[in-house]
Structure formats: structure tokens, C-alpha cells
């Protein structure tokens, strides 16, 4: 567990495959959800060098900021608001190639240009979301969606 994260240098598919394998090993035996989210955010973030990578947890009627890597972010997002609140409401992953074209997008930073949000589901309910922002347009595609859904399923 003390060893450094190996960062794959291949294509996106290869990077996710190694990331997933390492995440399974690193999260094994840790039951605390915040600890799991914290290391998952760090691993995803540093594998790809994203702008912002983090979790929001459903608490009551809002998403509340959880473990993340990157600059300061908004702390609470209401149900159905922004990309995160929409992913929660619609219970589906949302890939946003250009945040300026997403109605109601919440700009935590003006540097963010594209985004992906993947809901975390426990006992049929959304319990949080994984949110990743990129400084580049159209960073995320189906490969990201499929792998990130696989990743949130083990957190």
C-alpha cells in the first residue's frame, strides 16, 4: 500500500485498465467510504492529469462536496441543478463536450471546458456523483463513461 501509484503511459483504454486493477488492490480491506473516495479521486486525477476530479455526496436534498483533487469547488449543489444535479436526477452519466452549451452548468472555475459526471448508486438510490472537469473541450467520451462507471461501482 505504501508503493507509489504506477501511471500507465499507453492509450486511454490501457490507462483505465491499469488504474482499475490498482484501485481494486488499493481499496481492498478499507470500508470507510470517505477514505475510498479520497484515494479514488487522487488515483483518477493523477493518472490523467485532469483539471478537477472529485465526489459529491447526497445529503438530504443536496449534493455536498466530498473528497477531491484540484482547485476550490462549490460545496453544495441542489437536486436537478448543473451537470451534477442533473446526473443525480436522471440517474445517468452525463458527458459534456462543451460546458458552455450545457444549460444550467455550474461554473466552479472558468477554466473548466468539458466535464463528465457519473452517479454512484447504492440500494437503487443515487448516493453521490463522481465529477471530472477538463481544461480542454471534448475530453470525455464513451471510453471514459464505461470505465468510470466500472470504477464508481467498486468505491
Altogether, the residues listed in the chain come to a count of 155
**What are the distances in angstroms from CA 19 to CA 39, 45, 107, 126, 147?**
12, 11, 28, 24, 10
Rounded-to-integer distance, Cα 140 and Cα 149, Å: 13
Count the site residues for ligand SME by CB under 6 A: 14
Closest CB 137 distance from ligand SME, rounded Å: 15
User: Using CB under 6 A as the criterion, what x/- string covers residues 43-72 for binding ligand SME?
Assistant: ---------x--------------------
Rounded-to-integer distance, Cα 96 and Cα 114, Å: 6
Rounded-to-integer distance, Cα 50 and Cα 135, Å: 8
With CB under 6 A as the contact rule, the residue among 43, 130, 133, 148 that binds ligand SME is: 133
* Closer Cβ to ligand SME, 52 or 140, answer by number: 52
Query: Which residues of the chain form contacts with ligand SME (CB under 6 A)?
Result: 52, 73-74, 77, 82-84, 105-106, 108, 112, 115, 131, 133
Amino acid at each position: 500500500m505504501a508503493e507509489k501509484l504506477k501511471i500507465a503511459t499507453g492509450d486511454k483504454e490501457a490507462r483505465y485498465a491499469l488504474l482499475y486493477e490498482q484501485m481494486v488492490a488499493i481499496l481492498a480491506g478499507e470500508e470507510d467510504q470517505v477514505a475510498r473516495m479520497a484515494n479514488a479521486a487522487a488515483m483518477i486525477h493523477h493518472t490523467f492529469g485532469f483539471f478537477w476530479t472529485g465526489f459529491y455526496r447526497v445529503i438530504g436534498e443536496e449534493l455536498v462536496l466530498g473528497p477531491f483533487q484540484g482547485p476550490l469547488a462549490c460545496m453544495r449543489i441542489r437536486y436537478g441543478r448543473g451537470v451534477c444535479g442533473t446526473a443525480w436526477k436522471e440517474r445517468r452519466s452525463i458527458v459534456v463536450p462543451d460546458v458552455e452549451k450545457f444549460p444550467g452548468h455550474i461554473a466552479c472555475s472558468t477554466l473548466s471546458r468539458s466535464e463528465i459526471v457519473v452517479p454512484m448508486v447504492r440500494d437503487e438510490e443515487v448516493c453521490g456523483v463522481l465529477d471530472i472537469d477538463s481544461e480542454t473541450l471534448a475530453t470525455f467520451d464513451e471510453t471514459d463513461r464505461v470505465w468510470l462507471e466500472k470504477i464508481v461501482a467498486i468505491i
